Amino acid sequence: MISVKLIDEKLIKVNIELNNKKEVIKEFSNLLSINDRISNKELFEKDVIERESELSTSMGYGIAIPHTQSESVSETSLVFLKLSEAIDWDNDKVQMVLGIAVPYSKREEKHLKILSALARKLMNEEFREGLLNVTLPSEAMQYLSFLNLEIE
């Protein structure tokens, strides 16, 4: 079986113009759909929105980490969106979005591992600033590739 990486350049968009959380979630699911990482876009969007309604995924520092464990997810994946302008995300302003999608069947093994690895890195100001200043998906990939190694 071929191992699919958690993140690759096809799951990264830099300086994308999105105006609100709903558009971000649509782009998150669209990227996963066109890269064959989810089987049902509508179900995935519904699951992300439902998770968001429980508790905001904004973590401060201009970053949101929307995530869900869904029956529609076929491959554990991370999407990175760097917005051209910060948007309102509940009571915060967000310019970087790291979306996590985990198959419902694997929720226990991967979900918390990915979130904690990301949270540790995002606490580092130099890392956050570097990621915020990327201009190409390949540059973002250099910052985020550590996840492919940590989340085996």
Distance CA 140, CA 72 (A): 26
Catalytic entry in 67, 79, 102, 141: 67
In the annotation, is 111 catalytic? no
The first and second tokens of residue 126, run together, are 């130099």
**E strand residue ranges, 2-133:** 12-16, 58-60, 63-64, 67-70, 77-89, 92-103
CB 109 within 8 A of CB 76: no
Active site residues: 67
